[in-house]
Structure 1
Amino acid sequence: MSKIVIIAGSPNPGSRLNGILEYAEKVWKEKGFGIETVRVAELPASALLHADFKNAELLRAIASVEEADGVVIAGPVYKASYSGLLKSFLDVLPQSGLQGKISLPLFIGGTIAHLLSVEYALKPVISALGGRHVLAGVYAVDQWVEKLENGGFQLTEELKNRLDRAADEFAEELSWAEYRKKNREQAGIA
């Protein structure tokens, strides 16, 4: 089964983004996908900022992305762009780090006015990393994710519906990619 890596680029461990990721992750787990999450904020800051390719934790995170079939790039939007924390991780990926992978952006921001930040800020970087198969993804507004007293999250029905569609499309694309890969292998095509 295909492997999904979630690159979570929020500097805030209690971010509402976690509610979105937990919801989508549940959908993919139910479909049998292997999932790994790279929480960029948990990587050693010095290694990340200095691109220390001798750091084992940083190398493991990069290897996780390289081994993935699908990559979810998730983060908050600040000042009309994704977080600098997320950018610092994308900067240490190899030049072809997203080549051949299906990418799904999942973002959250304070206002719908920053909706196009995914199109104009993130997608060019994905392209520069070799990513050619980028799904539309989901942009959510903070008010659509309520933090609950027990530490959980409550998502609006509209957001759940949008996440269901995006998660299903991502799963379908990954399944088709796996099917095509198996057919090429059986036919002896590299």
Structure 2
Amino acid sequence: MPLLLTLTGSASAPGTSRTAHLARDLGTQLAAGRHEIRHLDVRSLPAEGLLSADTADPDIAAAAALVARADALIVASPVYKAAYSGVLKTFLDLLPQYALRGKPVLPLATGGSPAHVLAVDYALRPVLTSLGADVAQGWFVLDRHITVDADGGVTLTPETREALAPVLGRFRDALPTGSRLAAA
């Protein structure tokens, strides 16, 4: 069964991050029993290992191995200072040069202002492309359009859900039907 990985770069705790909740919700919808789904919140990795790019650190090595094992990824980050998060950048920087070669990747960003909508195309997409990803059309979601219920469920405003639907449809079409590892 192919593996779909949600990789989130929020500095907020995973339980409070709208970005992480959105990525998990979309990942679960996309997996729909046809894909194994795993979640990796970069914030949960040891800071010392991340900042020193210590790929021998067991947690960092396990995270990098999970990315290598993934057949497709959703990479999501809140926008800070007109770009994706530093914690996500730090993690992406320690991956091998072509760690995402041939993998469908859906970039997502969340933020408080429509002024940050270009962060997906001008900040996140180029880095994912340089790692070899087959980058799908990304999407930006305003924070205020995401509601997280007490049980962790995500509700998007109807206009956001409608605008996001074709993006998710194209990404779903790009998802592999078999594991890359099984084919290797």
Q: Name the TM-score, length of structure 1 as normaliser.
A: 0.85
Which ranges of structure 1 fall in alignment gaps of 5 or more residues? none
Question: What aligned pairs does 1:1-190 form with structure 2 within 5 A after superposition?
Answer: 1-13=1-13, 14-131=16-133, 133-149=134-150, 152-175=153-176, 178=178
- Structure 1's 168 and 33: CA in aligned 2 closer, same or farther, altered over 3 A? farther
State the distance in 2 between where 1:144 and 1:41 align: 23
State the distance in 1 between where 2:148 and 2:29 align: 20
Larger mean Cα displacement after TM superposition, 71-80 or 144-153:
144-153
Contact 1:24 1:163 in 2 (8 A): no
User: Residue 146 of structure 1: CA displacement?
Assistant: 2.3
The aligned amino acid for 1:130 is G
Give 3-state SS (helix, strand or coil) of 1:74's partner: strand
- Structure 1's 42 and 80: CA in aligned 2 closer, same or farther, altered over 3 A? same
Q: Name the TM-score, length of structure 2 as normaliser.
A: 0.88
The aligned amino acid for 1:161 is E
The aligned amino acid for 1:57 is D
State the distance in 1 between where 2:163 and 2:64 align: 29
The aligned amino acid for 1:8 is T
State the distance in 2 between where 1:15 and 1:59 align: 24
- Structure 1's 151 and 7: CA in aligned 2 closer, same or farther, altered over 3 A? closer
Contact 1:19 1:154 in 2 (8 A): no
Contact 1:7 1:37 in 2 (8 A): yes
What is the number of residues matched between the two proteins?
180
User: Residue 26 of structure 1: CA displacement?
Assistant: 2.6
Which ranges of structure 2 fall in alignment gaps of 5 or more residues? none
Contact 1:146 1:153 in 2 (8 A): yes
Percent of aligned positions with the same letter in both sequences? Answer: 37
Give 3-state SS (helix, strand or coil) of 2:79's partner: strand
State the distance in 1 between where 2:150 and 2:171 align: 31
Give 3-state SS (helix, strand or coil) of 2:102's partner: coil
